[in-house]
């Protein structure tokens, strides 16, 4: 069955179908090679300039490949077309008798390809991977029959993951439905009577640089991106267990509030520009229950709408105190929190399975090539 080498440009064809159909599903492409709803403000945009992405059509962006060490590329599998920025390149497999679209995509789900793409990138600042250079990549391919065997394995695992993820989303619907019912049963009150701001600094140097964290718009703590060499940690704020921290500036965060709850046993350190607060009495308001409301898109919209300022818009602690939520009996809070924790755990497992599936792709590709020799 042997192996054959091809230039990538021999197998694909760029297409430029513009949105003359009134499609309004705007999507972008992330470094995980996934389509995601755009975070940009699309109000007033001329959607007719956007490119149409249909099933088994690819989207490529060579921008910042060198900086991110990632080739942004993905294959769309949805039945209903979407649109993407005209800055992206859309293309299709021209020679499906030589390479299956799914196999082609699997080839780019590897760190090795990303590193090669970064190596081939050009530019002093952004290090872009030009389309012409991308088309010059050389691929080694087994026969279509051999490709199909390994694609079938990949698709079977992908379908299993999709089935698991659908169950995770069903659990989320249970949580959301329960919380919506609480609004009707309990009414809503301002959380200001149940929370308090505090400002504890690391003045004694009890916590080191390994405790310094940032906060993402995904409502989680992340490793800080700041260069901490020689930085004094005395002014950094301490986030104790079951305490909240958020970024008041909402101007440049894609209409999402960056807020997190420290569920760990160890205190964390955050920048002094962040705001920290906690529940006054956890027998009246569970931190995890409150976080469930912060984790909802409606809270992001509320916080963004109620942010004020000229140069930058901020959501102050006074604004936070004015947030209104239902606060039922503590036993009811515990019930919904337990369901939500189950959802979070399954979500974590789903993310891990997805990572493992992507890591499996290079192994499948290697197996298809070795058995073809």
- pLDDT tens by residue, 203-229: 988 999 999 999 998 899 999 888 888
Q: Classify residue 295: in a domain, yes or no.
A: yes
pLDDT band at 42, cuts 50/70/90?
A: confident
Give the ranges where 90-193 is alpha helix by DSSP (H): 101-107, 111-119, 131-135, 144-186
Specify whether 45 is located in the same domain as 123: yes
251 vs 303, higher pLDDT? 303
Q: Classify residue 334: in a domain, yes or no.
A: no
Q: In this model, does residue 1 exceed pLDDT 60?
A: no
Specify whether 38 is located in the same domain as 121: yes
71 vs 344, higher pLDDT? 71
Helix (H) or strand (E) holding 82: strand 82-84
Q: Classify residue 120: in a domain, yes or no.
A: yes
Three-state DSSP class for residue 290: helix
Strands 195-197 and 189-190: unpaired
Specify whether 207 is located in the same domain as 106: no
pLDDT band at 240, cuts 50/70/90?
A: very high
For the ranges 48-57, 274-283, 328-337, 342-351, which has the lowest average pLDDT? 342-351
Bridge partner residues of 214 (DSSP)? 222
pLDDT given for residue 28 in this prediction: 92
Specify whether 204 is located in the same domain as 134: no
Positive or negative, the Cα torsion across 215, 218, 221, 224?
Answer: negative
Q: Classify residue 213: in a domain, yes or no.
A: yes
* Counts for the chain of helices (H) and strands (E), in that order: 9, 20
Total number of domains in the chain: 2
Structural domain boundaries enclosing 315: 189-325
- Mean pLDDT across 89-115: 95
With beta carbons less than 8 A apart as the criterion, state whether 49 and 26 touch.
no
Q: In this model, does residue 180 exceed pLDDT 70?
A: yes
- Mean pLDDT across 123-142: 88
Specify whether 137 is located in the same domain as 241: no
Q: Classify residue 137: in a domain, yes or no.
A: yes
What share of the chain has pLDDT > 90, as a percent?
A: 73
Distance CA 230, CA 208 (A): 12
- Mean pLDDT across 142-165: 94
Specify whether 36 is located in the same domain as 134: yes
- Mean pLDDT across 302-312: 85
Q: Classify residue 359: in a domain, yes or no.
A: no
Q: What's 27's DSSP letter? A: E
Report the chain's terminal Cα–Cα distance, integer Å.
7
Decide: residue 138, CB within 10 A, 0-12 exposed, 13-18 middle, 19+ buried.
exposed
Number of C-beta neighbours around residue 247 at 10 A: 21
pLDDT given for residue 122 in this prediction: 81
- The backbone torsions φ and ψ at residue 206, rounded to the nearest 5 degrees and listed phi first, read -70, -25
pLDDT band at 183, cuts 50/70/90?
A: confident
pLDDT given for residue 5 in this prediction: 95
Specify whether 96 is located in the same domain as 205: no
- Mean pLDDT across 27-56: 89
Q: In this model, does residue 125 exceed pLDDT 70?
A: no
Specify whether 206 is located in the same domain as 113: no
Q: Classify residue 372: in a domain, yes or no.
A: no
Specify whether 209 is located in the same domain as 133: no
Specify whether 12 is located in the same domain as 96: yes
Q: Classify residue 358: in a domain, yes or no.
A: no
What share of the chain has pLDDT > 70, as a percent?
A: 98
- Tell me the CATH number at 258: 3.90.220.20
With beta carbons less than 8 A apart as the criterion, state whether 11 and 95 touch.
yes
With beta carbons less than 8 A apart as the criterion, state whether 284 and 194 touch.
yes
Specify whether 314 is located in the same domain as 193: yes
Specify whether 213 is located in the same domain as 105: no
- Mean pLDDT across 123-146: 89
pLDDT given for residue 123 in this prediction: 65
């Amino acid at each position: 069955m042997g192996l054959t080498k091809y230039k990538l440009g021999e197998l694909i064809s760029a297409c430029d179908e513009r949105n003359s159909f009134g499609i309004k599903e705007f999507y972008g492409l992330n470094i995980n090679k996934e389509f995601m709803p755009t975070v940009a403000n699309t109000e007033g945009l001329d959607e007719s300039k956007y490119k149409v992405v249909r099933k088994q059509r690819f989207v490529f962006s060579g921008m910042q490949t060198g900086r991110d060490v990632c080739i942004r590329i993905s294959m769309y599998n949805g039945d209903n077309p979407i649109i993407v920025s005209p800055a992206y390149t859309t293309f299709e497999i021209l020679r499906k008798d030589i390479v299956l679209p799914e196999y082609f995509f699997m080839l780019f789900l590897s760190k090795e390809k990303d590193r090669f793409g970064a190596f081939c990138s050009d530019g002093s600042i952004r290090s872009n991977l030009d389309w012409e250079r991308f088309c010059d990549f050389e691929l080694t391919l087994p026969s279509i029959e051999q490709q199909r065997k390994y694609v079938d394995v990949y698709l079977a695992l992908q379908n299993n993951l999709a089935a698991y993820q659908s169950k995770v989303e069903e659990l989320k619907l249970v949580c959301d439905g329960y919380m919506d019912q609480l609004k009707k049963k309990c009414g809503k009150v301002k959380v200001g009577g149940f929370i308090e701001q505090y400002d504890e600094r690391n003045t004694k140097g009890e916590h080191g640089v390994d405790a310094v964290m940032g906060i993402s718009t995904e409502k989680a703590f992340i490793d800080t991106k700041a260069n901490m060499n020689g930085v004094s940690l005395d002014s950094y704020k301490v986030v104790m267990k079951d305490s909240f921290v958020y970024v008041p500036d909402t101007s440049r965060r894609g209409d999402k509030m960056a807020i997190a709850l420290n569920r760990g046993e160890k205190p964390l350190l955050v920048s002094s520009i962040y705001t920290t607060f906690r529940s006054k009495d956890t027998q009246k308001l569970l931190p995890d229950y409150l976080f469930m409301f912060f984790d909802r898109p409606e809270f992001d919209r509320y916080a963004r709408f109620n942010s004020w300022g000229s140069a930058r818009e901020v959501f102050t602690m006074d604004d936070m105190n004015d947030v209104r939520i239902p606060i039922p009996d503590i036993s009811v809070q515990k019930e919904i929190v337990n369901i939500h924790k189950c959802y979070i755990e399954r979500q974590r497992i789903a993310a891990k399975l997805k990572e493992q599936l992507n890591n499996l792709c290079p192994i499948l590709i290697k197996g298809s090539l070795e058995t073809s020799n």
